[in-house]
């Protein structure tokens, strides 16, 4: 074998490894997205209750314009999986029937909306619009799930503006950050908040950020967090869900709480915030243990966020600074 042939074989081998790695990465990414996405499913039928096969169901994200489609099967069932969280409209079409448009559906992390569609006889150009929030079904029915939505994340008061402090809204969660052991720089150290979920150690919790494992820098304590003990701030987080006790096979690795976090993203409309949160001793009341004066304290937290379209319905951006 000459040098040229050897070089070609090495390049081919390297290209094969690259393709295998990319394929594995895409497979893992798809599996990860399944943990943070939602789904819409249901049954299509006519006004008499008879199931309708072959109904074209089009699901559209009202925030980004993303469109997904499905066709009902022989028993009228349809399912659209791996949908990002957000607001949706569902359009059902079939020859000989009026188009039905369902609005008011909001998907949250890890849950499925059941939308049963009823088509009326008529022409396709006629449309029936139904507005109403769809019932949400947990994708992990045996789990104890605790969804903390966008309004709670943004509006509830937080000492430190770290969204993970809202984990204690769920039963069986204890924050014992100030009772942790281990100094900075050793294997048991962590600079983030620490939580016990259903009696498990903090090291047994798993944090997933948009489906990707999110850990700290310590060897044993993998609680994520910055040196300020804050985690992403609150303007960068859309919502999160805490699963405890038992959950589906798409979760695992650690027996503690499974914390699934979904970050904010851009949309077709520009949106953003500018803020400053101020805490200092001038606002404090003197308590029994204060002597001559109230101890000095000052904290200023400021920042902003901005998101919007780069190309409408296709490419978006979002940035956050805190």
pLDDT tens by residue, 153-170: 888 888 778 888 899 999
Return the percentage of the chain with pLDDT > 90, whole number: 31
Residue 105 tokens, joined: 């559906």
Closest CA to 58 of 102, 97, 109: 102
User: Is 11 within the bounds of a domain?
Assistant: no
Strand 237-244 with 136-138, pairing: unpaired
Mean pLDDT of 40-49: 93
Domain membership flag for residue 82: yes
176: domain range? 144-263
**For the residues 274-281, what does the mean pLDDT come to?**
88
Query: Hey, which residues does 271 pair with through a beta bridge?
Result: 307
pLDDT > 80? residue 314: yes
**Is 246 inside any structural domain?**
yes
The residue from 138, 170, 194 where one domain ends is 138
Per cent of the chain over pLDDT 70 is 76
Chain-centroid distance, C-alpha 117:
27
Average pLDDT over residues 56-77: 95
In a domain, 25, yes or no: no
Tell me whether residue 240 is in a domain: yes
Quick check: helix, strand or coil at residue 236?
A: coil
Segments of 62-121 assigned E as strands = 67-71, 77-83, 86-93, 99-107, 111-114, 117-119
**Spatial distance between the Cα atoms of 315 and 48, rounded to a whole number of angstroms:** 43
User: Which residue, 224, 246, 263, sits at the end of a domain?
Assistant: 263
pLDDT value at 15 more than 50: no
pTM (predicted TM-score): 0.74
């Amino acid at each position: 074998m000459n040098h040229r042939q050897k070089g070609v074989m090495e390049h081919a081998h390297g290209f094969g490894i690259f393709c295998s790695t990319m394929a594995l990465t895409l497979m893992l990414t798809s599996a990860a997205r399944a943990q943070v996405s939602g789904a819409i499913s249901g049954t299509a039928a006519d006004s008499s209750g008879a199931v309708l096969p072959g109904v074209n169901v089009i699901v559209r994200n009202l925030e980004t314009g993303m469109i997904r489609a499905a066709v009902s099967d022989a028993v009228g069932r349809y399912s659209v999986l791996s949908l990002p969280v957000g607001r949706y409209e569902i359009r059902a079409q079939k020859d000989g029937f009026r188009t039905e448009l369902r609005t008011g559906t909001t998907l949250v992390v890890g849950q499925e909306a059941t939308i049963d569609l009823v088509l009326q006889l008529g022409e396709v150009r006629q449309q029936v619009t139904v507005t109403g929030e769809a019932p949400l079904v947990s994708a992990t029915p045996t789990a104890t799930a605790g969804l903390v939505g966008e309004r709670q994340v943004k509006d509830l008061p937080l000492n430190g503006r770290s969204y993970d402090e809202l984990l204690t809204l769920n039963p069986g969660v204890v924050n014992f950050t100030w009772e942790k052991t281990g100094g900075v720089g050793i294997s048991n150290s962590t600079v983030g908040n620490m939580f016990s979920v259903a009696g498990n150690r903090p090291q047994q919790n798993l944090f997933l950020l948009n489906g990707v494992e999110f850990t700290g820098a310590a060897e044993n304590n993998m609680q994520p967090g910055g040196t300020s003990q804050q985690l992403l701030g609150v303007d960068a987080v859309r919502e999160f869900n805490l699963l405890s006790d038992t959950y589906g096979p798409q979760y695992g690795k650690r027996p503690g709480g499974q914390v699934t976090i979904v970050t904010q993203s851009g949309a077709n409309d520009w949106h953003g915030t500018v803020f400053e949160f101020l805490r200092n001793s001038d606002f404090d009341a003197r308590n029994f243990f204060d002597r001559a004066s109230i101890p000095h304290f000052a904290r200023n937290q400021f920042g902003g966020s901005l998101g919007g379209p780069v190309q409408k319905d296709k490419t978006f951006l979002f940035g956050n600074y805190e």
